[in-house]
Chains A and B, each alone.
Chain A
Amino acid sequence: MLSAGFVLLLSAAYLGLLFAVARYGDARADAGKSIISANVYALSLAVYCTSWTFYGSVGRATSGGLSFLTIYLGPTLMLLFVGVIVKMIRISKDQRITSIADFIASRYGKSQLLAGLVTVIAVVGIIPYIALQLKAVSASLEIVLKTSSDDLVPGFLDATFVVAALLALFTILFGTRHLDATERHEGMVAAVAVESVVKLVAFLAVGLFVTYGMFGGFADLFARAAAHPDLANLLRLDASRAGTWAALILLSGLAIVFLPRQFQVIVVENVDESHLRRAVWLFPLYLLLINIFVLPIALGGLLHFQGQPFNPDTFVLTLPLSRGAEALALLVFIGGLSAATGMVIVETIALSTMVCNDLVMPFLLRSRRLGAGSGEDLSGLLIGIRRAAIVAILLLGYIYYRAAGEAYALVGIGLISFAAVAQFAPAMIGGMYWKLGTRAGALAGLVGGFAVWLYTLLLPSFAKSGWIDNGFVAAGLFGIPALKAQALFGLTGLDEISHSLWWSLFVNLGLYIGVSLLSRPDAVEAGQAERFVDVFRRSSADADARLWRGTASPGELAALLERFLGRARARQQLDAFAAARSVDDWRALPADAEFVRFAEAQLSGAIGSASARVMVASVAQEENLGLEEVLDILDEATQVRAYSRELEAKSLELEAATAELRAANERLREVDRMKDDFISTVTHELRTPLTSIRALSEMLHEDPEIASDDRTRFLGIIVVEAERLTRLINQILDMAKLESGRAEWTTSAVDVGEVAREASESLGQLFRDKGVALECVVAEGLPTVLADRDRLTQVMINLLSNAVKFVDRDKGSVQVRVGGDGDRVRVEVEDNGPGLTPEEAVVIFEKFRQGGNTMTDKPQGTGLGLPISRQIVEYFGGNLWVESRPGAGARFIFTVPLPDRT
């Protein structure tokens, strides 16, 4: 048995820990070292999992089987539409938007009426949800202590009230430490992330305990359930509820963005858009993990408590307690406490911002004492209003809890709240993507959708609780059957949530679109529509500057900021603004459109865009721009943007063309340089033999006295050099023909083996003179190839004469091998000469480059043989290459492909 004192002490210690985390987070944020990382951001989104998830999912699973999963599949899918969320974040940063009411009001011309309406819908929809959290905390306390919670606190108070009061205190300390233009609470986000981890760990622990501790694992649990006729149904999906399934996915997908607390953590508390890259998968992973054990726990509870009274919503606590696992039950209790407190804190902060900015401020500012012209410092009052709003919201939640008790209106409230905030979807999403949406359309849609929601969902839940007469549900309003609240116009076959969602979104969307198309926006709306829809495209503040015209004084604007932000903070912001415009003192700034926009943005962060607009208008004399004029300016901006985009595209094209030209020019120059190189090399090669011929013949000519054997030797040299010259010129001509493609080829079927043998025979004398062994091995039965026989012979002779040239006299040996190699004939000429380095193996195929050291050795060839051979082989579709290592001889290989056998 757990003692009450211990449990309360533990809870207090846990909340104290959270508070420490939050203070640390705030301190780090103030020091400019944010602790909000992508992981913290993703975990903070799990504030979505309230005690309704923590305790209620199991309850839902005991009646609806797997359908509870839709509540988590919807958010998974919605987060994948990350473009919508990024756009929302970007707009909110751009416009200093701090709540969902502010977002909608700002889009439709900063309308106070619209902001107030959204706030009312949110408060009406969410208060019961907060009540549900209070109920969960007190119910779990009673179970852990096995006593009525009212016995815990003396006198007229009850434990739930104490919980609510503590939460209010906590929220005030977390959420309203100071006024901040961004309305960001990094400490709170860090604490919520910690809570998310705690509730996940707690739920997984109880899941493992039930599945593996009380039963023999998943398979055992499912097998036992399947054997039970009542439980077997929970393991199947009911295809007749396909419509409900889809509706719940849609509903929860909208809730993940439009619930005030979700908008707060996803959009307002976002410090870096790139954090979404993590959240897009980490948050769904969190949801998956926290749901794995829901069905096993539900089945385990139903099997375990068979024949006894039980409440499935508390299985996560009663199952461990039934086995005496008190420590685990305590962990689960702390997990549930985390789920409830996290939700209440974030939701209350979000709602209090909306109530303060959009309900209270408009009235206060209209009153003479606080309105325009009064110089009183209002920053303290603002914080006071927020704190009062927090207390009021929690008090309302408590009252609702007291009034509702065990009534249906509380238990079913989760989805009812979702359906309420889903009404924001048309105005929000339409406003982000559709410029023609107007204030009148948004108002009509919201009022219509909210009314249908009230009539088909909230009021019937009151009727079910017995608070009001249920005639309008059973028989229809005024007895008209078509007006039955949960079968409107005879629409049946849907459950109440899908029914309400369908009708309310139908009316909402219909009115939003219809009225928008029939009404005209005013000038402010048109400007805001442009800023919202084109938030990614806006590059200059030029159009902004022209959309405001009038006169203002910097002093008055600064005084206004000081009134709402406090003196120190206002001065700080003004100095930062002046620094950004490279001015030393803000007093020297001109009170131009940019200054006015800055002031309005700062005020928006503090009191909402609608009130900010009213306040700025009270000190600045704005000239009214007509709608036509605004549209002209916007059109012009659009046109300028289109022109600049065209120009950009043109200049890109031009750049590409220039680059191509440059590359072509580069290639031409390269070819030109190669030609010059070629000519100078050729000239040099020709001059060497010519010089020696000329020198010798001049000697013979001028000195008739030369001895006759010298004369014979000289003439011999002249003959050899002349032959070399002739050969060189022939080969240059040959090369030129090959390269220019003017060579003549006679293609016929050629037996490569025969070519090799003939070439070996014709060079036989040369090999014998030098004492070099020549061996020629030709494989049997080789097919013929299509080639020019004379050209192939030329290649063979070139390779053989190279080989004999480089091997040592009397010790050399050369082998010729001809064989098949798949679809080609392969010829190898291998020698045991000095071999080639890897660099040489490449350069010998270049023109006029020879093997051996050309600087010291006498050149032994023309340096054109191998390049010509390679050209020839490649012409027939083959390859010519060399495999060699220094000192290990060289093996020249060429291949000729066989003709296609078709």
Chain B
Amino acid sequence: MKRSNPMRQRLAALCLFGVLLLTYPLLGLPGGDWNGLPAVYLYLFGVWAGLILLAAMVAERRA
């Protein structure tokens, strides 16, 4: 029996980090335009993609 599983804990930490980034008040920060695109659109998809990338790196790493 494994008493602790670092992969699960890393992913859970990633989740908490994501919750902070994807809710208010931090979500209220991006405003206006970035290169002609709405900043909040880029911010939401950027953070989302970043979370997916990190999750992939954590989950697919050979134990």
In Å, the complex CA distance between A78 and B36 comes to 32
With A277-B60, A536-B1 known as contacts, the answer to whether A218 contacts B12 (CB < 8 A) is: no
Interface of chain A residues 758 through 804 with chain B (CB within 8 A): none
Contact flag A218-B59 (CB < 8 Å), given A81-B11, A292-B45: no
How far apart are the CA atoms of A398 and B55 in the complex, in Å? Answer: 41
Interface string of B33-45 (1 = CB under 8 A from A): 1011110110011
* Shortest Cβ distance from residue B56 to the other chain A in the assembled complex, whole angstroms: 4
Interchain CA distance A239-B27 in the complex, whole Å: 8
Bound form: Cα–Cα A69–B24 in Å = 14
Residues of B within 8 A of A235 (CB): 38, 40-41
Report the bound CA distance from A73 to B18 in whole Å: 9
Within A251-289, the residues touching B (CB, 8 Å) are 277-278, 280-281, 284-285, 288
For residue B44, which residues in chain A have a CB less than 8 angstroms away from its CB?
66, 69, 73
Tell me, in angstroms, the Cα distance from A81 to B45 when the chains sit together: 20
Known: A80-B14, A236-B38. A86 touches B48 (CB 8 A): no
Residue A237 lies at the interface, judged by CB distance under 8 Å to chain B: yes
Instruction: Evaluate contact between B24 and A66: CB separation under 8 angstroms.
Output: no
By the criterion CB–CB under 8 Å, are A76 and B18 in contact? yes
**Chain B positions 2-59 with a Cβ under 8 Å from a chain A Cβ:** 2, 5, 7-9, 11-12, 14-15, 18-19, 22-25, 27-28, 31, 33, 35-38, 40-41, 44-45, 48-49, 51-53, 55-56, 59
Tell whether, in the assembled complex, residue A246 and residue B52 are in contact, meaning their CB atoms are under 8 Å apart.
no
- With A237-B28, A280-B11 already in contact, the answer to whether A288 and B52 are too (CB < 8 A) is yes
Q: Are B37 and A82 in contact (CB under 8 A)?
A: no
Contact indicator A219/B1 (Cβ below 8 Å)? no
Contact in complex: A278, B59 (CB < 8 Å): yes
Q: Which residues of B contact A518 (CB under 8 A)?
A: none
> Closest residue to A225 on the B side, CB-wise?
B38
Q: Which residue of B lies closest to A80 (CB)?
A: B15
Given contacts A80-B15, A280-B11, contact A245 B38 (CB under 8 A): no
A242 interface hit (Cβ, 8 Å): yes
- Cα A222 to Cα B53 in complex, Å, equals 27
Asked if A741 is an interface residue, CB under 8 A from chain B, the answer is no
Chain A contact residues: helix, strand, loop or mixed: helix
Could you tell me the distance between the alpha carbons of A240 and B51 in the complex, rounded to whole angstroms? Answer: 26
Q: Are A245 and B27 in contact (CB under 8 A)?
A: yes
Q: Say if the beta carbon of A223 comes within 8 Å of chain B.
A: yes
Give the nearest-CB partner of A234 in chain B. B38
On whether the beta carbons of A80 and B40 are closer than 8 Å, the reply is: no
Q: Which residues of A contact B18 (CB under 8 A)?
A: 76-77, 80
CB of A277 within 8 A of CB of B38, answer no
Q: How far is the CA of A235 from the CA of B59 in the complex (A)?
A: 34
Contacts of A284 in B (CB 8 A): 48, 51-52, 55
Closest Cβ of chain B to A102, distance in Å, is 25
Establish whether residues B37 and A80, one from each chain, have CB atoms under 8 Å apart when the complex forms: no
Residue among B41, B48, B52, B53 making CB contact with A295, cutoff 8 Å: B41
Asked if residues A288 and B28 are in contact (CB atoms below 8 Å), the reply is: no
A537 on interface, CB distance cutoff 8 Å: yes
Q: B55: which of A222, A245, A281 is its contact (CB, 8 Å)?
A: A281
Q: Is the CB of A246 within 8 A of B23?
A: yes
Q: Chain A residues with Cβ under 8 A from B37's Cβ?
A: 218-219, 222
The A186-229 residues at the B interface (CB cut-off 8 A) are: 218-219, 222-223, 226
In contact, B49 and A80 (Cβ under 8 angstroms): no
Question: Contact at B52–A242, with CB atoms within 8 Å?
Answer: no
Q: How far is the CA of A86 from the CA of B11 in the complex (A)?
A: 13
A241 (CB) vs chain B CBs: closest residue: B24
24 contacts between A and B (CB under 8 A): A66-B41, A66-B44, A76-B52, A77-B19, A78-B15, A80-B12, A80-B15, A80-B18, A81-B12, A82-B7, A82-B8, A82-B11, A83-B5, A83-B12, A236-B38, A237-B28, A277-B7, A278-B60, A280-B11, A284-B48, A284-B51, A288-B45, A288-B52, A292-B45
Interface residues of B (CB under 8 A from A): 1-2, 5, 7-9, 11-12, 14-15, 18-19, 22-25, 27-28, 31, 33, 35-38, 40-41, 44-45, 48-49, 51-53, 55-56, 59-60
**Among all A-B residue pairs, the 3 with the closest Cβ atoms:** A80-B15, A242-B24, A219-B36
